Amino acid sequence: MTLGGPEFAAINAQDLRVGDDYLAIYEKAAAGDRDLAGALQGIRAVYAGRAKCFEMEHGYRSEADGRCFQMSVIPMAAPANGVVISHEDVTETQRHKHAIMELSGRLVNAQEQERSRIARELHDDISQQLAVVAIGLQLLKSEFPRESSEEGDRIQDLLKRTHSLSIDIQRLSHRLHSSKLALLGIEAALRGLCNEISEQSQIEVEFQCGKFPAVVDSNTSLSLFRVAQESLHNIVKHAHARRVQVSLFGDNNGIVLRVSDDGIGFDPDAPEHNGGLGMISMKERINLVGGVLCVFFKPSIGTTIETRVPLSHETAALSAVH
């Protein structure tokens, strides 16, 4: 939670003295401000014993510059009846985090651009060359008598292999860059991905889409698609699952993507998985769009990967209109 504006600045500017009622000051400043009201609610929860602690970040802009503080609320030790509220300046820490996130975002964007470039080359160049080879083989085969011959059989085998290789390249190009995602949106792209995995493997992949925002920005759609893609790839390769369910739903506040399987279970914290980049990549992608990725598993029962991504205020407003 981030706080700012004149209301919270007024609190920081108060000449607080021993005996002042901190809650009363908050109540006065929080009138009509949802963020400050949430902070007041957290303080009251700790004061009343309903929560062990409360933390939040808030901004404060002075005449000199803007600062970021970490607010912490903990109960006072018995027999005292009260809370201890501290504000730690975490401006530099947040600046470092933002710099790292900006760098991660640039790396992800560069990766996607390279994926698109390779996908275009596979589709426009290599696929066309394979098509020319297939035509040449077909013409060569027509020069042999219709009755079966050893040479004709070899050419037919090469034709089959060329066709199979062409299909594999088309699939690889699609995995690198989904045209459905760009043209039809996240729902159609995920449905197509699930159908593709079902056709290529012995796993039944079911896709369900519930209530869903009418408008989703391209970065969020791409991040969700990559998480689903990586999750399904891991399931096919490692989970020994027979059935997978992919669910997509949400409202104007956010979107939830859930991928569940009935496989052997996957523990992301296990030592054998520490070196894998798949889970790290998924979490970094979701962090860049302000979301959270969680993994729930039970050995021999299955794994669920749940991703929650909030919608920006602009996107939510557009979704509400449609």
Residue 253 — pLDDT band, cuts 50, 70, 90?
Answer: confident
Residue 17: its pLDDT value, please?
Answer: 64
Query: Residue 252 carries which DSSP code?
Result: T
The angle that helices 127-142 and 150-176 make with each other, rounded to 10 degrees, is 170
Residue 243: its pLDDT value, please?
Answer: 94
DSSP 118-132: HHHHIIIIIHHHHHH
The H helix count followed by the E strand count for the chain is: 11, 8
Residue 298: its pLDDT value, please?
Answer: 83
On the question of pLDDT at 24 being above 90, the answer is no
Residue 6: its pLDDT value, please?
Answer: 41
Q: Is the N-terminal amide bond of 79 cis, ω within 30° of 0?
A: yes
Residue 194 — pLDDT band, cuts 50, 70, 90?
Answer: very high
SS3 state of residue 51: coil
Residue 8: its pLDDT value, please?
Answer: 47
Residue 317: its pLDDT value, please?
Answer: 47
Residue 61: its pLDDT value, please?
Answer: 65
pLDDT tens-place string over residues 133-158: 989 988 888 877 666 677 788 888 89
278: its two tokens: 């798949």
Residue 307: its pLDDT value, please?
Answer: 94
Residue 47: its pLDDT value, please?
Answer: 87
Residue 238: its pLDDT value, please?
Answer: 87
On the question of pLDDT at 242 being above 90, the answer is yes
Residue 284: its pLDDT value, please?
Answer: 85
Residue 277: its pLDDT value, please?
Answer: 63
What does the pLDDT average to over 78-88? 82
Question: 185-322: CATH homologous superfamily?
Answer: Histidine kinase-like ATPase, C-terminal domain (3.30.565.10)
SS3 state of residue 234: helix
Domain boundaries, the chain: 5-89, 93-177, 185-322
Residue 27 — pLDDT band, cuts 50, 70, 90?
Answer: confident
Average predicted confidence (pLDDT) for the chain: 80
pLDDT tens-place string over residues 280-310: 888 888 988 889 999 888 887 899 999 999 8
d(CA 228, CA 263): 16
Contact between 303 and 265 (Cβ < 8 Å): yes
d(CA 91, CA 72): 15
